[in-house]
C-alpha cells in the first residue's frame, strides 16, 4: 500500500486537475473528485447502496460527507490527499478522527470496498480506519497511480446489489464520463430503441450523450443528456416514441434546491465551508476551506456571480445558492 508522500508525488500538483461531482445514492455529494478516479468512487457508492449504509448530506449544523479540499494535512506540512481529489470522507460525525477506532461502518462493507480491484487486479482503495496511529474511519483514498487506475474498475469485484430491470429506482444516475456495467446496459437499451450511434465499449461519451438527448426528445422527457429516473423508466419499459401532438408521459418538474441561509463577509460555520467547497468545485478559488468568509472567499464569490450574470454583491443568498447547486 502506498504512503501519502508517494501518492502526492504520483498525483501532483495539488488542487490543479479536472474535477467532477458524484451524487451518491442517498443524494449526498462528493464534490471535486479527480475525474480519473470517478469510476472508483462510483463502485464505492454501489457497495454502500448494497449494504444499505447511508452517507449523510452536509447541513448548516454539521459537515458530514465530501471529497475535495485544497488544504495541508492535519498536523503536517504536506497537502492532504483531498487536495488531489483522490480521497473522500463519509459520515464524519459518526466516524471521527482520533487515537481509537470509532466507526458505524459495517466491517463487511469496509472489506468489500477494500476488495475492489482494477481490471489488472490491483487494489483500489485504502481505508483510514487501518492507519497505524490515529484512526480516520471516515476516510477512503485511492492508493494507485494515474496510470494504474486508467485500467478501469473490474466490476466483477464490486459486490453490489444487482440492479432490477423492473425497478428503475435501482439504477444509478448516469452522465457523460461514466463507465461500468450500468453504462453497458444503457448502450444496449438505446440500441434496442433504435439509437445505435453510441460509444460502445468506451463508456458514456459524446455519442452516447447525443443518443440520450435524441431518445429524451422522442419520448418528450426532460432533455438534459443525463440518465435519471425518468429516462431509465422509459428505457427499461420500452416506452414508444411520443407523437407530436401527444402529451409527455411524465410530469416534468423542476426541483428547486433546498434553501441555504444567506452568508456574507465575516460569516462562519459549516454553511460557509459548503460555499467554499462549491466555489472551488466550480473553478473559483476561495482559499482554505475553513468555514471563515474572508477576503479570498469574497473575491471568489464576486467572480462566480459575475460569471453567472448575478449581482456581484459578495452576498450568497437564494439566487447565488441556486447557481452554485446546479
The count of residues in the chain is 326
Contact 186, 204 (CB under 8 A): yes
For the stretch 183-206, pLDDT in tens is 888 999 999 999 988 987 778 999
- Residues of the chain with pLDDT > 70, as a percent, come to 94
What is the b/e burial string over 108-126, where b = at least 16 CB atoms within 10 angstroms of the residue's CB?
Answer: ebbebbbebbbeeeebbbb
Q: How far apart are CA 136 and CA 121, in angstroms?
A: 26
Instruction: Write out the three cell numbers for 205.
Output: 461519451
Beta strands 97-98; 29-34: pairing state? unpaired
| Closest CA relative to residue 82, chosen from 129, 17, 148 | 17
User: What is residue 253's predicted lDDT score, i.e. its pLDDT?
Assistant: 44
Q: All domains of the chain, ordered by start, with CATH?
A: 4-156 (3.30.1380), 168-236 (1.10.101.10), 270-325 (1.10.101.10)
| Closest CA relative to residue 300, chosen from 283, 317, 325 | 283
pLDDT higher at 88 or 287: 88
For the stretch 308-324, pLDDT in tens is 888 999 999 888 987 88
Q: How far apart are CA 144 and CA 169, in angstroms?
A: 32
User: Which residues, 6 or more positions from 295, have their beta carbon under 8 angstroms from its beta carbon?
Assistant: none
The helix/strand/coil state of 31 is strand
The helix/strand/coil state of 32 is strand
Q: How far apart are CA 131 and CA 116, in angstroms?
A: 19
User: What is residue 74's predicted lDDT score, i.e. its pLDDT?
Assistant: 67
Mean pLDDT of the chain: 88
- Does residue 65 register a pLDDT over 60? yes
pTM of the model: 0.64
Amino acid at each position: 500500500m502506498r504512503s501519502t508522500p508517494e501518492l502526492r508525488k504520483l498525483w501532483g500538483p495539488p488542487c490543479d486537475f479536472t474535477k467532477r461531482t458524484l451524487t451518491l445514492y442517498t443524494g449526498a455529494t462528493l464534490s471535486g473528485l479527480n475525474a480519473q478516479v470517478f469510476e472508483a468512487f462510483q463502485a464505492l457508492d454501489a457497495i454502500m447502496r448494497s449494504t444499505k449504509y447511508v452517507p449523510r448530506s452536509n447541513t448548516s449544523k454539521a459537515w458530514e460527507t465530501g471529497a475535495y479540499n485544497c488544504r495541508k494535512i492535519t498536523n503536517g506540512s504536506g497537502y492532504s490527499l483531498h487536495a488531489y481529489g483522490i480521497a473522500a470522507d463519509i459520515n464524519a460525525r459518526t466516524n471521527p478522527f482520533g487515537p481509537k477506532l470509532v466507526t458505524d461502518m459495517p466491517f463487511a462493507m469496509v472489506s468489500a470496498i477494500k476488495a475492489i480491484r482494477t481490471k489488472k487486479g490491483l487494489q483500489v482503495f485504502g481505508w483510514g480506519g487501518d492507519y497505524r496511529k490515529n484512526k480516520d474511519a471516515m476516510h477512503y483514498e485511492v492508493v494507485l497511480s494515474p496510470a494504474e487506475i486508467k485500467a478501469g474498475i473490474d466490476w466483477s469485484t464490486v459486490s453490489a446489489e444487482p440492479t432490477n430491470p423492473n425497478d428503475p429506482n435501482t439504477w444509478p444516475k448516469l452522465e457523460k464520463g461514466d463507465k461500468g456495467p450500468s453504462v453497458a446496459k444503457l448502450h444496449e437499451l438505446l440500441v434496442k430503441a433504435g439509437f445505435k450511434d453510441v460509444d460502445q465499449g468506451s463508456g458514456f461519451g459524446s455519442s452516447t450523450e447525443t443518443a440520450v438527448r435524441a431518445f429524451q426528445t422522442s419520448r418528450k422527457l426532460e432533455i438534459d443528456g443525463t440518465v435519471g429516473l425518468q429516462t431509465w423508466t422509459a428505457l427499461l419499459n420500452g416506452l414508444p416514441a411520443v407523437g407530436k401532438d401527444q402529451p409527455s408521459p411524465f410530469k416534468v418538474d423542476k426541483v428547486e434546491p433546498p434553501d441555504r441561509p444567506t452568508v456574507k463577509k465575516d460569516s462562519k460555520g459549516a454553511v460557509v465551508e459548503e460555499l467554499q467547497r462549491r466555489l472551488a468545485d466550480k473553478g473559483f478559488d476561495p482559499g482554505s476551506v475553513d468555514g471563515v468568509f474572508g477576503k479570498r472567499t469574497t473575491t471568489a464569490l464576486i467572480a462566480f456571480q459575475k460569471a453567472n450574470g448575478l449581482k456581484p454583491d459578495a452576498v450568497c443568498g437564494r439566487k447565488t445558492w441556486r447557481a452554485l447547486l446546479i
